[in-house]
């Protein structure tokens, strides 16, 4: 994953203490098949601050890095709120290229921060990560050098509603 996403070291605060283990939790009947069909790599269940269930699949483990997908939307929304409050971003109606100039000429050129936050950037995103066709978004998500869709014109007008897919929000992270 490091090769695919160019990680950067950040100074971190000490991690919080690990959650206490609660009473064992059994997944509902049929969960095994459901997880297998969706190629799930891990499941954690917490209740009232206690870890009730933790399991890893497909050869993964607790030290493997994961892509946060939709979780990133919550963090980005909170971060944007802080940046607005501090004045680092003047308005969510500003174009994303004002703060992420590398996106000029890309599919996001002309989209506002509000468009991106509302999943209305006009950028079409296909969330089939098992499609290994070099032009598919699934392929591009794992091999950014193949991400031609990122630099192509939008496939829908800016401000048009596109499906709530992580590509519309997680691709805003260069900001």
Q: Give the E-state strand segments of 86-161 in sequence order.
A: none
Distance separating alpha carbons of residues 31 and 125, to the nearest angstrom:
28
Residue 61 DSSP code: -
Q: How far is CA 119 from CA 38, 43, 151, 153, 168, in A?
A: 23, 27, 18, 16, 6
- Best CA proximity match to 55, nearest among 42, 69, 68: 42
Four-residue CA torsion sign, 134, 170, 110, 99:
negative
Q: Please pick, among 70, 74, 77, 91, the residue that the annotation labels catalytic.
A: 70
Residue 140 DSSP code: H
Using only the alpha carbons of the chain, give its radius of gyration.
19
Active site residue 6: no
Residue with tokens 């209740």: 47
Active site residues: 70
């Amino acid at each position: 994953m490091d090769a695919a996403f160019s990680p950067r070291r950040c100074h971190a605060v000490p991690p919080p203490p690990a959650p206490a283990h609660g009473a064992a939790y059994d997944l509902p009947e049929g969960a095994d098949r459901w997880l297998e069909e969706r190629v799930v790599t891990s499941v954690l269940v917490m209740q009232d601050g206690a870890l009730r269930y933790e399991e890893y699949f497909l050869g993964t483990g607790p030290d493997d890095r994961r892509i946060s997908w939709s979780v990133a939307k919550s963090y980005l929304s909170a971060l944007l709120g802080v940046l607005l409050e501090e004045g680092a971003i003047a308005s969510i109606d500003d174009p994303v290229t004002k703060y992420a100039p590398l996106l000029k000429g890309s599919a996001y050129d002309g989209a506002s921060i509000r468009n991106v936050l509302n999943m209305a950037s006009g950028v079409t995103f296909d969330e089939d990560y098992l499609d290994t066709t070099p032009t598919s978004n699934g392929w591009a998500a794992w091999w950014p050098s193949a991400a031609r869709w990122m630099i192509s014109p939008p496939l829908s007008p800016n401000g048009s509603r596109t499906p709530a897919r992580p590509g519309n929000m997680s691709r805003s992270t260069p900001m």
